[in-house]
Amino acid sequence: MDIRLLRVFKSVVECGGMAAAELELNIGTSTVSRHIKDLETRLGLTLCRRGRAGFALTIEGQQIYAETLRLLAGADAFRASVDEIHRRMGGQLNIAVFDKTASNPQSRLGAAIALFSELAPEVNLHLYVAALNAIERGVIDGQFQVGVIPGHRNSDTLTYDELFGETMQLYCGAQHLLFEAEPADMSWDDLGGHKFAGLGYHSPNMEVSQQRRLSRKATGYDQESIATLILSGKYLGFLPDHYAKAFVGNGQMRAVKANMFHYECSFFSIVRRSPQPSRVTRAFQDCLLQVHGASAESQAAPALLQQK
């Protein structure tokens, strides 16, 4: 019962309220409310405020939510261990991928999922899109079993397998002064005079902006936000060329000196080293490696990004 109530609480938090969680949980709002009240009674804590001002977690509720994620990850690991004993593949597999990988022609994640679904039809897949640091933390904590991220640093608690690459180009919006023309002799040093929009967490994007001393004047936390800042015409920013293609085709942005201002990065799948990944996790890893033609041997560390 406690586990069930905690799962309801998790859904309410992630949906942003009880009414919003109704469809997710497939139960009425009054029942959701009763479950939350029962959980608060069992814990002796007020977890959330609800009323005209909207839904909000209390400080205690935030702490219980964090503990709930850890507990449910442990429960999923227990279920996976039981499946391992029975040598069957069932339960749930949580996969987290970095922003805007679906449009990358080098990515074969869809093919890997199709192959895995044929191999393990009883497994319930949960696919998340998250920031790079959130994926790393989630895999380490057990919230996600597999992550797919651009390589940027090494953690001894994770194993890395290289999957595919991505080209990041520097773009400006149609209203930017560089859109119509760019100096033929323009260099990396010249970019310091233009405002730059970059990602707000450790990533290849942040590494390049720091190494090249770009003038960060705006910060985004996903590729969508960087694209929006570029489209304002006030900032330069890096985007995956496959994602920016539609904006370029519509005349909304263009690459700035494409033969110079770009870098390459590699994407890796990541799993925890310990405890040993479950049978289901290993099977999905094998599918990822198979469709990407990657080596079955784990990489010691992510490859360094290549700047031009």
Q: Rounded to whole angstroms, how far apart are CA atoms 40 and 15?
A: 19
Q: What are the per-10-residue average pLDDT scores of the chain (308 residues)?
A: 86 85 81 89 89 82 90 78 66 92 95 94 92 91 93 90 96 95 88 93 91 93 96 97 97 95 95 87 94 61 46
Residue 53 and residue 97 share a domain:
no
The per-residue pLDDT for 85 is 65
Q: Please count the structural domains in the chain.
A: 2
Assign residue 50 the CATH number of its domain: 1.10.10.10
Alpha helices (H) in the chain, listed in sequence order: 2-15, 18-25, 29-43, 59-85, 109-119, 132-141, 204-211, 223-231, 241-249, 279-292
The per-residue pLDDT for 86 is 59
The per-residue pLDDT for 16 is 85
Residue 137 and residue 207 share a domain:
yes
Burial label for 180, CB within 10 Å (0-12, 13-18, 19+), is: exposed
Residue 16 and residue 118 share a domain:
no
Q: Rounded to whole angstroms, how far apart are CA atoms 56 and 13?
A: 9
Q: Rounded to whole angstroms, how far apart are CA atoms 183 and 190?
A: 10
93 lies in some domain:
yes
How far, in Å, are 63, 70, 283 from residue 16 at the CA level?
16, 20, 34
**At 264, is the secondary structure helix, strand, or coil?**
strand
Domain housing 283: 89-308
299 lies in some domain:
yes
77 lies in some domain:
no
Residue 164 and residue 17 share a domain:
no
pTM: 0.71
The per-residue pLDDT for 1 is 65
How far, in Å, are 103, 198, 225, 237, 241 from residue 244 at the CA level?
10, 15, 13, 11, 5
